[in-house]
Chains A and B, each alone.
Chain A
Amino acid sequence: MTVTPLERAEQRKAWGFALPALVWTTAFFLFPFAYMAAISLWTRSGGKIVATWTLDNYAAFFGKSHLLKALLNSLEVTAIVTVISILLAYPLAWIIAERVPKRWQRMALIMAILPFWTSYVVRSYSWLLVLSKGGVVNQTLIWAGLVAEPLQLSASRTGTVIGFVHFFVMLLTLTIYANLVQLSPNYRRAAADLGASGLQTFRHVILPLTLPGIMVGAFLTFVLCIGDYITPQILGGNNELLLPQVIMLQLGRRADFPMAAALSLVLMAVVTLAYLFCARWLKMERT
């Protein structure tokens, strides 16, 4: 098949448009990624980095139960956070989309994402105070007679989950809301005409149609949550370690960049698997 001059010109134009993105991606993603992958195959021995290829770092990760446990902890916490965030964000997004008058919806959304405007670190430290023994949550529970002694909410997995959920509910609310407002009211009218109850309409019509929004939000939650260091470090009290914390531990004093790179690649592999699952699921939904 011959390429006409016009088509060749179009191709050149297309490459011209794509070139900045390609250069950017190569310079700031592919090259650093390849470099990190190479470093992960080096080792730190005798206080120095030894640039010989080996899988020792990966073997150490899968061979040491306390390192492997960090990955399992990360997966558990991320799964809990994602599920709770969806359960809280969906009704919130639905209320904003369906029950709040149109003219107030923008204000309601701004109110919902207001905590985004504060620093992530400040927000985590604020939660530390709120969840402390003398904090507002424990004092309220004691005052209401629900508990006799303060609960250990901070410096625990509960604290980490609460800190994460507060953040990710906002994110998921946005993605689910965006999905909900695009749904034509005709779907509900048609379901009602066919005799479906409100619950049946939600279960068989609205929920399936908003699943893409949920999945996109859940994937973003998963990626951001599993890679986060600040929240578990401040609110978890180091009573268990998540993978990002173990990565930082390699760097703090010993500057073991090869091990940190290997752990980071393991983390990236998990995120890639999550992405493939979501992409496959969304593709299946479309077909």
Chain B
Amino acid sequence: MKMTITAAAVRRLLLATAACALSTAAVAQEELNALVWCDHTDPALIEPFEKANDVKVNLKEYEGTGAGLSIVEQSRPGDWDVFVIDGVDVPRAIDMDLLAEIPAGRLPADDIFPEVRMEANNSKDGKIYAVTEKFGYNTISYDKTKVDPKDMEDLSIFWSDKYKGRIALYDYYLPMIGLTGLAIGKTTAELTMDDLPAIKEKLFEMKKVARQVSDVVASQTALVTGEVDIILGGGEWVTAGLMAEKPNLDWTVPKQGALRWAQSIGVFKDSAKQDLALKFVEYILSPEGQAKLATSSCYWGMPANAKAGEHLTDQQKTALRWDQQPEYLRTTQLYPVVDAELDAAMQDVWTEMLQQ
């Protein structure tokens, strides 16, 4: 059979194809810009939302609230839609008038572990501006084939010579000063300038027995390669994701307790896509989203939504110490909430310790 295609038919076909392509592009062009921590960049977490809503989520990851706020300050209003921020720093973002109010009805408030709701941080004047999405502990990670797990139950081991040269200290002054304070009987919520000399003394002692003070990647590398056997300040976020491949790695909360970190998610006030941004927040807080966020390839952590457990395997729950959470939540304390002056003084103490 011979087919004849006229020039007009070709033109129509091309125009139809172009129109189709343009309309597809127009539909797929909706984008959501999220300023996040690295755990949100896992495609396994983001792709289901993108497919379900036919949207492209542009993710920009940052480390440290200061860096995150700098990015916001250097952007135009409306550039960003969703913000993931350290739970203790949500008040900073609220004070800067960055976050939009989140309607309470769109949040699974009753499903969030009560201990991590952090209303004092996430709300102001009765309005909700952010919600806790993930939490975990700055505690002790270790190689159980090289250290006595019983020793890891007491923070005082970090002032003895038993593991000298085999310890990495996590390089973030806020939790580490809180953890040190905890070890000498100080409550993180009540830390003041007057507590710093005693904490400083202990930090200096810790530095003497530590091999290094390092960030997440360097600490994790040191533990995996056997450079160190213990990370003080580590926790499930350092070792839980590795435990399937490295069953020798473990973590625990010592008898004195540990620090509890929490990250919150909110919607930018200047976002032009409030509804889509809220949908994203809803997805992240849904049991499915929470399970994926908890086991993100960047780092693991406990989901804030208790119902996420239905979507985690037994192995994942074991790595996260799911069954021990009630005890951990009872014995751990939140990061110190400090004003700018105490924050600066803490940073000075930490810098002094590093220079020892």
Q: Which residues of A contact B (CB under 8 A)?
A: 44-48, 64, 66-67, 69-70, 73, 125, 128-129, 132-134, 152, 154-155, 233-234, 237-241, 246, 249, 251-257
Check B213 against A254 for contact (C-beta < 8 Å): no
- Extra contacts besides A155-B227, A253-B347 (6): CB < 8 Å: A64-B348, A125-B221, A155-B211, A155-B214, A155-B222, A239-B212
Roughly how many angstroms separate A233 CA and B165 CA in the complex, as a whole number?
19
Q: B174 to chain A: which residues have CB within 8 Å?
A: 253
Given contacts A64-B348, A66-B348, A125-B221, contact A252 B66 (CB under 8 A): yes
Instruction: Give chain A nearest CB distance to B80 CB in angstroms.
Output: 17
User: Could you say which of B240-248, B293-301, B338-346 contacts chain A?
Assistant: B338-346
**Residue from A70, A125, A233, A252 in contact with B64 in the complex, judged by beta carbons closer than 8 Å:** A252
Given contacts A125-B221, A152-B165, A155-B227, contact A47 B92 (CB under 8 A): yes
Chain A residue with minimal CB distance to B352?
Answer: A66
Chain A residue with minimal CB distance to B351?
Answer: A66
**Residue from A64, A132, A155, A253 in contact with B66 in the complex, judged by beta carbons closer than 8 Å:** A253
Q: B77 to chain A: which residues have CB within 8 Å?
A: none
**Residue from B66, B165, B222, B351 in contact with A67 in the complex, judged by beta carbons closer than 8 Å:** B351
Q: In chain B between 174 and 204, which residues have their CB closer than 8 angstroms to a CB of chain A?
A: 174
Check B66 against A251 for contact (C-beta < 8 Å): yes
Check B354 against A241 for contact (C-beta < 8 Å): yes
Chain A residue with minimal CB distance to B344?
Answer: A254
Roughly how many angstroms separate A49 CA and B66 CA in the complex, as a whole number?
13
26 inter-chain pairs at a CB distance below 8 angstroms, sorted by A residue, are A47-B339, A66-B348, A66-B351, A69-B355, A73-B355, A132-B225, A132-B227, A133-B225, A133-B227, A134-B226, A134-B227, A155-B222, A155-B227, A234-B218, A237-B211, A237-B213, A237-B218, A241-B354, A249-B351, A251-B64, A252-B66, A253-B65, A253-B172, A253-B347, A254-B343, A255-B69
Q: A239 to chain B: which residues have CB within 8 Å?
A: 212-213, 354
**Residue from A44, A69, A240 in contact with B340 in the complex, judged by beta carbons closer than 8 Å:** A44
Q: B348 to chain A: which residues have CB within 8 Å?
A: 64, 66
Instruction: Give chain A nearest CB distance to B346 CB in angstroms.
Output: 10
Check A154 against B347 for contact (C-beta < 8 Å): no
Roughly how many angstroms separate A238 CA and B347 CA in the complex, as a whole number?
14
Given contacts A238-B171, A249-B347, A251-B67, contact A70 B214 (CB under 8 A): no
Count residues on chain B whose CB falls below 8 Å from chain A CBs. 36
Check A240 against B65 for contact (C-beta < 8 Å): no
B115 CB within 8 Å of chain A: no
B63 CB within 8 Å of chain A: yes
Chain B residue with minimal CB distance to A67?
Answer: B351
Instruction: Give chain B nearest CB distance to A124 CB in angstroms.
Output: 10
Roughly how many angstroms separate A44 CA and B165 CA in the complex, as a whole number?
37
Chain A residue with minimal CB distance to B341?
Answer: A46
Check B225 against A255 for contact (C-beta < 8 Å): no
Roughly how many angstroms separate A196 CA and B344 CA in the complex, as a whole number?
64
**Residue from A73, A154, A255, A256 in contact with B227 in the complex, judged by beta carbons closer than 8 Å:** A154
B70 CB within 8 Å of chain A: yes
Check A254 against B218 for contact (C-beta < 8 Å): no
Q: A70 to chain B: which residues have CB within 8 Å?
A: 355
Chain B residue with minimal CB distance to A156?
Answer: B212
Q: B211 to chain A: which residues have CB within 8 Å?
A: 152, 155, 237
Check B351 against A246 for contact (C-beta < 8 Å): yes
Given contacts A132-B227, A237-B218, contact A47 B340 (CB under 8 A): yes
Check A240 against B354 for contact (C-beta < 8 Å): yes
Roughly how many angstroms separate A239 CA and B298 CA in the complex, as a whole number?
26
Instruction: Give chain B nearest CB distance to A227 CB in angstroms.
Output: 19
Check B355 against A240 for contact (C-beta < 8 Å): yes
Q: A152 to chain B: which residues have CB within 8 Å?
A: 165, 211
Roughly how many angstroms separate A48 CA and B225 CA in the complex, as a whole number?
42
Q: A240 to chain B: which residues have CB within 8 Å?
A: 354-355
Instruction: Give chain A nearest CB distance to B102 CB in angstroms.
Output: 24
Q: B214 to chain A: which residues have CB within 8 Å?
A: 155, 237-238
Chain A residue with minimal CB distance to B227?
Answer: A132
Chain A residue with minimal CB distance to B73?
Answer: A255
Instruction: Give chain A nearest CB distance to B97 CB in angstroms.
Output: 13
**Residue from B67, B225, B355 in contact with A252 in the complex, judged by beta carbons closer than 8 Å:** B67
**Residue from A125, A155, A252 in contact with B212 in the complex, judged by beta carbons closer than 8 Å:** A155
Q: B65 to chain A: which residues have CB within 8 Å?
A: 253, 255
Roughly how many angstroms separate A172 CA and B76 CA in the complex, as a whole number?
44
Check A253 against B64 for contact (C-beta < 8 Å): yes
Check A134 against B218 for contact (C-beta < 8 Å): no
Q: B63 to chain A: which residues have CB within 8 Å?
A: 252
Q: B171 to chain A: which residues have CB within 8 Å?
A: 238
**Residue from A47, A133, A255 in contact with B226 in the complex, judged by beta carbons closer than 8 Å:** A133
- Interface mask (B48-83 → A, CB under 8 Å = 1, otherwise 0): 000000000000000111110110000000000000
Q: B225 to chain A: which residues have CB within 8 Å?
A: 129, 132-134
